[in-house]
Amino acid sequence: MRCRKCAHPAVIKMPRHNISLCKDCFTEFVHNQVRRAIKAHRMFTAEDRILVAVSGGKDSLTLWAILLKLGYRADALYVDLGIGDYSLRSRQKVQRFTDTVAAAYASNLHVHTVEQEQGAGIRELATLVHRPTCSTCGTVKRYQFNRVAIEQDYDAMATGHNLDDEAARLLGNVLHWQTDYLDKQTPSLPASLGGFAKKVKPLYRLTEREIAAYAVIHHIDYIVEECPMAKGSKLLAYKHALNRLEADSPGTKHTFYLTFLDRQAKQQETTGQIAQRDQERLHPCTTCGQPTSTDVCSYCQMRAKAKAHV
């Protein structure tokens, strides 16, 4: 199979674009998709400081690598969840990437260790507060990424969410008619009020397969195994279902999510309206000061419950 652009041997076929590409042309394709995403949603500029949320997985390390290659000022934050060997191995992958790739760009890694602050890893913490592990993990990660972005004065916080993540999440929200969540399912969420960092998803135009292919081609050493806590997750079931549809009808995920964004852009409120609504609804947490719709934010509530038990 030959590259559609230059006739060199192809390394990947992308049925959704009806194209096969060689290493160099595929790399250029990926970079262009990321540039397009950043520009279309005014995510950040070349002068901005960006904090990338890294887990050691393919998406976040690839995002960090691409932003550095494209000339952005990107540092990263790793949250060590304390999930036994899995966390040890993922932290090693992040550290290795920092030392071998990011250091050459004078890019920094911040690390937050859950066990150090909470006195327990994420699994034990979830048991103490009687919540599912993935939900507890989400609360801790969102809180810590936002905290570091605000405290260290970053202009935007970037996550490695890809087209499959967003299409699967959209499918889940539509299946359950969770329209409140639909409103905020956008690749760029503004810093709507003080205490909230701007959140962006520069990989939303790329599939998981394309991102993994980029990682393999560029020798990005990521943790291939899945988080042991994710077993049985609904999001994975939605991803498998969408991939079966994609196999029969290439472009299904792309059309599903990008058409949703087009319709959202036409119908939905502007960034200013999101900010206004957040200002009406949210206020500083009485414990930590981060924005919340209740007196004490969910992170501080969880922390208080855990402290009572530890």
Binding site for other proteins (CB under 8 A): 1, 10-13, 20, 57-59, 134, 164-165, 168, 207-209, 211-213, 216-217, 219, 224-227, 229-230, 233, 235-236, 239-240, 243-244, 246-247
Beta carbon nearer to other proteins, 225 or 295: 225
CB of 186 to other proteins, least distance (A): 18
Q: Using the minimum distance from each CB to other proteins, give the nearer residue, 228 or 272.
A: 228
Closest CB to other proteins among residues 101, 227: 227
Q: How far is the CB of 10 from other proteins (least distance, A)?
A: 5
Least distance in angstroms from the C-beta of 255 to other proteins: 14
**CA dist., res. 260 & res. 262, Å (int):** 5
Quick one: which H or E segment has residue 156? strand 156-158
Q: How far is the CB of 278 from other proteins (least distance, A)?
A: 26
For other proteins, the closer CB: 10 or 30: 10
Q: What is the CA radius of gyration of the chain?
A: 20
- State the minimum distance, in angstroms, from the CB of residue 269 to other proteins: 28
CB of 201 to other proteins, least distance (A): 13
Contact predicate 155/50, CB 8 Å: yes
- Pick the closest to residue 29 from 206, 201, 160, 204 (CA basis): 206
Q: Cα dihedral sign for 211, 214, 218, 221? A: positive
Minimum separation from the CB atom of position 187 to other proteins (A)? 16
Please state the φ and ψ torsions of residue 30, each to the nearest 5 degrees.
-65, -45
If the CB atoms of residues 80 and 165 are measured against other proteins, the closer one turns out to be 165
Closer to other proteins at the Cβ: 196 or 256? 256
CB–CB of 198/156 below 8 Å? Answer: yes
Greatest alpha-carbon span in the chain: 65
> What is the C-alpha separation between 297 and 237, in angstroms, rounded?
30
The alpha carbon dihedral of 48, 53, 58, 59 has a sign of negative
With respect to other proteins, which residue has the nearer C-beta, 92 or 273?
92
Q: Which residues are CB-contacts of 148 (< 8 A; sequence separation ≥ 6)?
A: 51, 77, 110, 112, 154
Q: Could you tell me which residues are beta bridge partners of residue 188? A: 200
- Gap between the Cα atoms of 310 and 308, Å rounded: 6
